[in-house]
Amino acid sequence: MSTDAADPTDSRNPDSANSGSADPGSHSPSGGADSGGAGTNPADHRGTVADRQAAAQARSAAKFRGPVMYRRDRKPGIRTADRNLLDSRGDADWVHTDPWRVLRIQAEFVEGFGALAEVPRAVTVFGSARTPVDHPEYEAGYAIGAALARAGFAVITGGGPGAMEAANRGAGEAGGYSIGLGIELPFEQSINDWVDLGINFRYFFVRKTMFVKYSQAFVCLPGGFGTLDELFEALTLVQTGKITRFPIILFGRSYWSGLVDWIRNSLEGFGKISPGDLDLLYVTDHVDEVVDIIARAADFRADVSTYGTEDLW
């Protein structure tokens, strides 16, 4: 009963570990016969109260990176994602890498599809950005834009000046829907003032996809390399069956006759295109004929009902 007597079984007694009276089985790694195979009792190794408090504090001092938790010193010095985003700028070279470009390209497609999804039946009009306002080709572009609007078509252009502005202006002043799909160029070129819905693209191939996807026909006024690029891409898509019932109209016989003759005499003449491929092109000097060709082709399209209508303009 004396309080001065040492308990040989008390783990806090330094002499107990070396006591000859201790059961050697109690220190066996396997627990010995007397331990029932349960192993060492965790309570024998809890240490002091201070030790237990320090361990608990270490466990509670968790650090997080998003949904991932780190404790103790497994991941020291963790910065939050917000801090990494807002606190410093760092090296900007990653902006010019291909993986980042892929995201920008994807974003342009998403932006274009979202903006144009409810556009009504539309026709794209191409032509030179260098056409002066007082030129007969500007007047022709204006007349074509107005006639298409009165026939119930939205008018899409490259959004620039010259012949593109003429078509947008004609459609707008006739009460139609005027759309401009611009492109980032080394020299300054902004969306013209007659565009109701404008999108400026970084990448030509994204812009070209929008022209084809949301148009039912192409009308080509006299133009340069850009107009020729769109013309021959459309011809290739129709020839290869990628798009169907898609009229391609060249407006201005005197301007386009040399190209048509070259296609007939060289491409067809030397067997580089199939007989009849030239029939994919229409050539005219008359605005009414432009509208008639497009309207007749539209009547054959089985999916006209999938397009928006004027009440959505």
Contacting residues for 198 by C-beta, under 8 A, at least 6 apart? 159, 179, 180, 181, 182, 191
E-strand spans in 202-241? Answer: 218-220
Query: Quick one: which H or E segment has residue 283?
Result: strand 281-284
Query: 290 by DSSP, 3-state: which?
Result: helix
Question: Which has the higher per-residue pLDDT, 77 or 105?
Answer: 105
Residue 251 lies in a domain: yes
Residue 98 lies in a domain: no
Q: CATH number of the domain that 181 lies in?
A: 3.40.50.450
Query: 73 by DSSP, 3-state: which?
Result: coil
Q: Which of 133-142, 156-165, 201-210, 292-301 has the lowest mean pLDDT?
A: 292-301
Statement: residue 100 has pLDDT above 90: no
Amino acid letter, residue 252: G
Which of 4-13, 34-43, 85-94, 108-117 is the most confident on average? 108-117
pTM of the model: 0.70
pLDDT of residue 57: 67
- Spatial contact of 200 and 175, defined as CB atoms under 8 Å apart: no
- Spatial contact of 178 and 196, defined as CB atoms under 8 Å apart: yes
Residue 74 lies in a domain: no
Average pLDDT over residues 68-95: 66
Separation of CA 193 from chain center = 27
User: Would you say how long the chain is, in residues?
Assistant: 313
Cα separations in angstroms, 1 against 5, 6, 104: 8, 11, 84
Average pLDDT over residues 104-116: 95
Statement: residue 300 has pLDDT above 80: no
Lookup result for tokens 């020291």: 76
Average pLDDT over residues 219-244: 95
What is the extent of the structural domain holding 226?
121-312
- pLDDT above 90: percentage of residues in the chain: 59
Separation of CA 30 from chain center = 63
Contacting residues for 294 by C-beta, under 8 A, at least 6 apart? 123, 148, 151, 153, 216, 217, 219, 247, 249
- Please compute, for residue 34, the number of CA atoms within 13 A of its CA located in the half-sphere on the CB side: 8
Statement: residue 13 has pLDDT above 90: no
Residue 131 lies in a domain: yes
Average pLDDT over residues 42-57: 65
Residue 262 lies in a domain: yes
Residue 186 lies in a domain: yes
pLDDT bracket for residue 96 (50, 70, 90): confident
Average pLDDT over residues 39-56: 62
Average pLDDT over residues 92-110: 87
Lookup result for tokens 């002499």: 15
Statement: residue 144 has pLDDT above 90: yes
pLDDT of residue 92: 75
Q: What is the dihedral of CA 200, 201, 204, 210, to 10 degrees?
A: -80
pLDDT of residue 69: 60
Closest CA to 309 of 153, 162, 130: 153
Q: How far apart are CA 172 and CA 145, in angstroms?
A: 8
pLDDT of residue 94: 72
Cα separations in angstroms, 237 against 242, 246, 298: 5, 9, 18
Average pLDDT across the chain, whole number? 81
Average pLDDT over residues 104-129: 95
Tokens of 82: 């917000």
Residue 49 lies in a domain: no
Question: Which has the higher per-residue pLDDT, 304 or 208?
Answer: 208
Number of structural domains found in the chain? 1
Strands 68-70 and 63-65 come out as: antiparallel
Average pLDDT over residues 47-58: 70
Residue 172 lies in a domain: yes
